[in-house]
Amino acid sequence: MRHLKKYNEMLSYSGGDVTKMPIIGKVITKPIGPFESGEYDVVEVIETEKGPIYVTNMWYKEWKRIPQLIHTELVEEFIPLSNESFSMYREKCDRCGGPTNNSTTMSIFNTDVICMICKEEEKKDPEYEAADIAADEAYRNGIKDFEGVMPDYTPIIRN
């Protein structure tokens, strides 16, 4: 979990490389002053008391690994990416069955859409780094429908 300090409020996102995370939708921003509206691909949504904050698939400050964030008050419309077979939106985590609180990410091991708690546990798996390397390689080779290195992945039970 990566923590970001924004307007005296701590925000957390899954901490992955936003340029390699699956796109879950797009936002269309409102035109403000001399700036026209724009479209941004969204890889994660952070729920806050003031409304959702959208994490885009680009860096605001790449050298600090700070992703571009778009606050709800700047958003004209959020369009979830969905088709008949896949959507990142889940009320319950595919892995643990617990509530997602509208914050999900894709498992590095398979196509499970998981909550942030399961993502943190997944990162502790000894095979995580190898799975991450395989996912990066698939991305570099243009494989858009990579189903992970362990389709039948079962998380390690921790005490």
Residue ranges of the domains in the chain?
A: 2-80, 90-159
Which band of pLDDT confidence, cut at 50, 70 and 90, is reported for residue 67? confident
Task: State the Cα–Cα distance between residues 66 and 59, nearest whole angstrom.
Answer: 6
Is residue 32 a contact partner of residue 38, using CB atoms and an 8 Å limit? no
Average pLDDT on 76-104 reads 79
Rounded-to-integer distance, Cα 148 and Cα 116, Å: 18
Rounded mean pLDDT of 51-75? Answer: 85
Say what the pLDDT of residue 12 is. Answer: 64
Is 67:42 a contact under the CB 8 Å cutoff? no
Mean pLDDT (the chain, rounded): 81
- Percentage of residues of the chain with pLDDT beyond 90: 14
pTM of the model: 0.48
Decide if pLDDT at 75 tops 80.
Answer: yes
Of 114, 119, 116, the residue nearest 95 (C-alpha): 114
Q: Is pLDDT at 84 greater than 60 in this prediction?
A: no
What are the tokens at 119? 């993502």
pLDDT tens string 30-61: 988 888 888 999 988 888 888 888 999 888 87
